[in-house]
Amino acid sequence: MTELTKEEELSIKGTCMEFCPLEEVNMRTREKMVHVLEATDTGLKLIKCYNRSAADTNMANPHLLRPYPVLLKCIHYLMFEVSKRTDMKKWFVYDFIEDRLRSVRQDMTIQRLPPEQCVELLEPMIRFYVYYSYRLCECGPNEYDPVLNKKHLLECLKWFLSCCGTLDKTKEYSPLDNIALRIEQLDLSKQKLVIDRVLVESLYILSNLNDTHPLHRYLQLPESLRRKAISTMCHAYNSKQLSVPISTFKKWLMFGDDDEAFSACKHYGLSVNNNSVIFNKAAYKDVEMPPRRRNYSAKIIQFKLEDVLTYTL
């Protein structure tokens, strides 16, 4: 029997097996506070609202909290059912889903859900915020708040990546190891949610182009992020005749110099002919590379402090 951690012992286990606690259902029905998007062809389908904490409320009651399986099912319903409503404006649908997603995160926080469950719940939220940041970019300030959307996006991104950092330290579960398997098993007809840490890491960088922290974080990431990219290239560009210049390969994967790029090709089983990389999925070796060392040929290593202070492009 697996021994519980101290945090797991202190966590609260939700017992509400519906999208909305009965107490809230009765109250909102009685007070005529049912949202129009909660009225379906088969009757009312209420989803727990985001609750701003107050001194006279106890949100930690187990019967008010939804456990992980219910939260995942709720997210799936919001993303694949409610989001398809065409009888309402997109910003109106967004506003409703966004509130219910905040409620999901609230339940996650109060219950202190483990990181492997958090990443499953957070990634669809990240995709949701990214998608609507584009779809609603032309809406007026009374309909959509891009600043608030960005705030919630970054909140989910940082939480997701923090969980990944925790999981990287364990051997029991790694969302990164499961990426390829999950994508290969994705059945669009069944609309299954997937996890793609590489995508989330990339979104984190793109969402913070004016901040150096995401780039610094990228340099600390495990080599398996780059391994995933090379594996994808071997399948996408598989050919015995066609090749990609080593300079392009180096630029794509941000190698410090040609020697580092050649070393990666040799490690992963890629052939190099006339300074061009030949991608062959049959020859690819899916083996982790040793940790990256500092690139001593990088230009900044050759600079003095005064050079850095006066450097321009």
What is the DSSP secondary structure assignment for residue 176, as one 8-state letter?
T
For position 222, what pLDDT does the model report? Answer: 62
Please provide residue 273's backbone torsions phi and psi, each rounded to the nearest 5 degrees. -135, 125
Residue 187 and residue 59: Cα distance in Å, rounded?
37
Asked whether 168 and 174 are in contact (CB, 8 A), the reply is yes
Q: Quickly count: other Cβ atoms within 10 Å of residue 151's Cβ.
A: 12
**Full pLDDT tens readout for the chain, 313 residues:** 445 555 555 678 989 999 999 999 999 999 999 999 999 888 899 999 998 765 456 788 899 999 999 999 999 999 889 988 889 999 999 999 999 999 999 999 999 999 999 999 999 999 899 889 888 888 898 999 999 999 999 999 999 988 988 887 775 545 444 443 343 333 444 566 777 777 888 788 788 777 777 766 666 666 667 787 888 888 888 888 888 888 888 888 877 788 888 888 888 888 888 888 888 888 888 777 665 554 444 554 555 555 555 555 4
Residue 5 gets which letter from DSSP? P
User: In this structure, which long-range contacts are made by residues 35-38, counting pairs with CB atoms below 8 Å and at least 24 apart in sequence?
Assistant: 35/96, 36/88, 37/82, 37/85, 37/88, 37/92, 37/93, 37/96
φ, ψ (nearest 5 deg) of residue 276: -130, 140
Residues 128, 192: Cα–Cα separation, whole Å: 15
* Helix, strand, or coil (residue 186): coil
In contact, 135 and 168? CB cutoff 8 Å: no
CA 124, distance to chain mean position in Å, is: 7
Predicted pLDDT of residue 28 = 93
Local structure of 102: helix, strand or coil: helix
Classify residue 184 by its DSSP letter. Answer: H
**Predicted pLDDT of residue 306:** 54
